[in-house]
Amino acid sequence: MSTERNTFSFSAIVGQETLKTALLLNAVDPRVGGVLIRGEKGTAKSTAVRALAAVLPPIRVVDGCRFSCDPDDAAALCDECRARSESGPLPVASRRPRFVDLPVSATEDRLIGTLDLEHALKHGERRFEPGLLAAANRGILYVDEVNLLDDHLVDTLLDSAAMGVNIVEREGVAFSHPARFILVGTMNPEEGEVRPQLLDRFGLCVEVEGLASPGDRVEVMERRSAFEDDVTAFRMAWAPQERALELRIATARGRLPSIHAPRDLLFLIANVAADIGVDGHRADLTMSRAASALAALEERDVPDAEDVRRVAPLVLAHRVRRKPFEDVSFDQMRLDSVLSQSRGEEGDGTPSPDSRSGESPADGAASARLAVLGRAADPERGPAGDLSERLVTPLDGTRRSGDGRRQETRSDDKRGRYTRAETPRPGQPVDIALDATIREAAAHQTSRSGDMAIRIEPVDIRTKVRKRRVGASIVFCVDASGSMGVSTRMEATKAAVLGLLVDAYQRRDRVGLVSFRGDDAEVLLPPTSSVELAQLKLRSMPSGGATPLAAGIKASLELLDAESRRDAKVVPWLVLVTDGRANVGIDGGLGSEDARTMASKVREKGVNSVVIDITEGTSAVSAARELARLSGGDYVRMPRVTGQDLSGAVRQRLEAV
Ligand SMILES: [Zn+2]
């Protein structure tokens, strides 16, 4: 929860009109369904969201309610308020809605709430300990890097957001409370995509970019330093604009119930959604709500075609149907042509886009092509820290336990699905499974005494066994040296990378590519789950020159090390495409010797590996086979390598049961 005093002013944010509009539409009508903000780091994303919370009009709440119940909505009261209301009218207080930050590492208990263990043990009563969903009720729930959130948390979050209620039924507690919030997620497409199912559940989506105009950039700097120099003075200076904006939101909210989209506008919306090509009906409903909210925000009583034109990119960009590899972005031209066609067909007499003056917040988006695509950014995300030291810890130990197979792995960090309970092993941190613990204790109650309602002894304690789906991180390490067949080899590898990424969403896999040529290795693609990003980065793949095989393996291991620091459970895979011959070593060392040393490191680090031998002809002695032996991995001969064979060889090993 933010202290408003230290928050930047929403009105003081320079540019980013599309983002501001998307946030304001949700402020006017939370049923618009939240915003997914895509963009690189350092682009005012979280600043804008925090600042929005500070201009949301105050709400009336039941005083003392842990769930911020609305005293004017008797039907949506929490169980506690319902009980209280039976003995008289509920006390009312007024305060600003909260800004709640959901960290990516949050546990399920933290999100949905849990049984208050202390209370249960002391008083023998079940009492619910609220989680972040409770704190966020009627406010903003903010998830930075929502694409990195665990699947089961995402499902819980979206279910609550859709129903407006959090229902907890576990550990013998059944509890429900209202959970209506504006869901705002941010993501950097460089870090991997959001599952398509999740994408569609966000009402609006905006792509945020840095500002291009030098004038704007200077203004950003000036306002930033004014803010940092003296927060109080800065907020005072912007207070009139902030209060005016707050009033505008409050007025729009008041106006909203009387705003109804005319039937011909609904036809227009349906035509647009169908023509642009989106599945389901969620987009239609969102577009209609967003158009009404925009009209309300601009003090008009009837939304029109121009409102639809302005909100459509926000609603449709992330919902456009596309096939893998299809380079699709949302196209304003297409939208405009659909709109004018529909208008022609319907003859509904709604004003044309030009007939109303005033700025159009979505215009910037139109010219910037509200792309669904991840954009290229600096591939500077290398592994941090000293490789030789860091590599040993995260990759050792359990790495091999799954034979490199992708699976649901036991999770020891309180993340993941609770599957069963067991007696804790000595030294193991206890993630208490209350249901199982109480069941265990229940059997002994008659033989125990004390002032507790239920007497639990250490032997009763059971710990939760949680399972979490983990993906594989697969790094291809490819010989890009020489000239014979190198371009075929590179194309085949690219095809294999893209092939493996097509359904990476479901499997949580990430794929990267390192090439080695000349005197060093190059990370062409840091591990990603994004097909779009892979396509973009692998557009050109330089080849030719000498063969620094050892440097290639070293760079690959560094990437995999970074991957396991990101998620200790990830299954690391190295796919080495080589003939095993190396003529350049590391720091002037002997090429072949350094390569063998690095191959042994692969085994030491517990990285799973496959060596794809591209040696032509039939030679009994193969340097590549020797590397496979040293790295402890599989060996596959593939003199004429194709993308399909390559991805097939990898997939087969990942899926092997
Ligand atoms: Zn309540």
What's the gap in Å between 78 CA and the centre of ligand 1?
4
Q: Could you give the CA distance from residue 48 to residue 340 in angstroms, rounded to a whole number?
A: 34
| Residue labelled with tokens 């939370």 | 30
Q: Please report the beta strands in 96-187, taking only residues with DSSP state E, as ranges in sequence order.
A: 99-101, 114-115, 128-129, 140-143, 165-170, 173-178, 182-187
Q: CA-CA distance, 291 to 75, in Å (whole number)?
A: 28
The helix, strand and coil proportions of the chain, stated in percent and rounded to the nearest 5, come to 45, 15, 40
- State the distance from the centre of ligand 1 to the C-alpha of 169, rounded, in angstroms: 18
Instruction: Provide the annotated active-site residues.
Output: 282
- Coil, strand, or helix at residue 334? helix
Q: What gap in Å lies between CA 591 and CA 504, rounded to an integer?
A: 35
Does 348 score more than 70 pLDDT?
no
* Tens digits of residue pLDDT in 22-59: 999 999 998 898 999 988 776 678 889 999 999 999 99
What average pLDDT is seen over the chain? Answer: 79
Between CA 31 and CA 636 the distance in angstroms is 55
What percent of the chain lies above the pLDDT cut of 90?
28
- Strands 520-528 and 571-578, bridge-based pairing: unpaired
Half-sphere exposure of 654 (CA within 13 A, CB side): 25
The H or E element spanning position 287 is: helix 282-297
User: Could you tell me which residue, 320 or 2, shows the higher pLDDT?
Assistant: 320
**Amino acid 600: pLDDT:** 93
Q: What are the pLDDT digits (tens) for 397-436?
A: 333 333 444 456 676 667 677 777 788 777 776 777 777 7
Expressed in angstroms and rounded, the spacing between residue 203 Cα and the centre of ligand 1 is 27
Three-state secondary-structure class, residue 431: coil
Measure the CA dihedral 347/350/355/359, to 10°: -130
Phi, psi dihedral angles at 75 (to 5 degrees): -70, -25
Q: Which two tokens stand for residue 22?
A: 């998307």
For position 505, what pLDDT does the model report?
64
Q: Which of 565, 586, 560 is nearest to 575 (CA)?
A: 560
Q: Is the four-CA dihedral 642, 643, 648, 654 of positive or negative sign?
A: positive
Residues 307-314 have a mean pLDDT of: 91
Strands 35-38, 114-115: pairing is unpaired
Distance CA 531, CA 379 (A): 16
CA–centroid distance, 55 to ligand 1, in Å, is: 24
Ligand 1 centroid distance, CA of 183 (Å) = 21
Q: Quick one: pLDDT at residue 164?
A: 85
pLDDT score at 567: 77
CA of 66 from ligand 1 middle (Å) equals: 6
With H, G, I as helix, E, B as strand and everything else as coil, classify residue 197.
helix
**Consecutive H or E run containing 390:** helix 387-395
pLDDT tens digit sequence for 525-544: 989 888 878 888 888 888 88
Identify the weakest region by mean pLDDT among 9-18, 171-180, 285-294, 413-422.
413-422
Query: Residue 379: pLDDT band by 50, 70, 90 thresholds?
Result: very low
472-479 and 634-637 as β-strands: parallel, antiparallel, unpaired? Answer: unpaired
Lowest mean pLDDT among 408-412, 488-492, 648-652: 408-412
Pairing of strands 35-38, 204-207: parallel
* Cα 505 to Cα 655: distance, rounded to the nearest angstrom: 15
> Radius of gyration of the chain from Cα atoms?
29
The predicted pLDDT at position 406 comes to: 45
What contacts 355, CB < 8 A, 6 or more positions away? 306
Which tens digits make up the pLDDT trace of 491-520?
999 999 988 888 766 667 889 999 998 888
pLDDT top residue among 427 and 614 = 614
How far is the C-alpha of 14 from the C-alpha of 272, rounded, in Å?
A: 31
Can you give the pLDDT at residue 402? 37
CA distance 51 to 3: 11
Residue range 231-280, pLDDT digits in tens:
999 999 999 999 999 999 999 999 999 999 999 999 999 888 888 777 77
Distances (CA, A) of 343 to 292, 576, 623: 19, 57, 69
Percent over 70 (pLDDT), the chain: 79
CB atoms within 10 A of CB 91: 12
Predicted confidence (pLDDT) at residue 636 exceeds the cutoff of 60: yes
Please determine, for residue 372, whether its predicted confidence score (pLDDT) is greater than 70: no
CA of 60 to the centre of ligand 1 (A): 12
Provide mean pLDDT across the span 151-166.
82
Kindly list the strands in the beta sheet with 35-38, ordered across the sheet, starting from the edge strand earlier in the chain.
Answer: 99-101, 140-143, 182-187, 35-38, 204-207
- 257: closest CA among 204, 288, 301? 301
Can you give the pLDDT at residue 254?
94
Number of CB atoms found within 10 A of residue 190's CB: 19
Tokens of 114: 């849990």
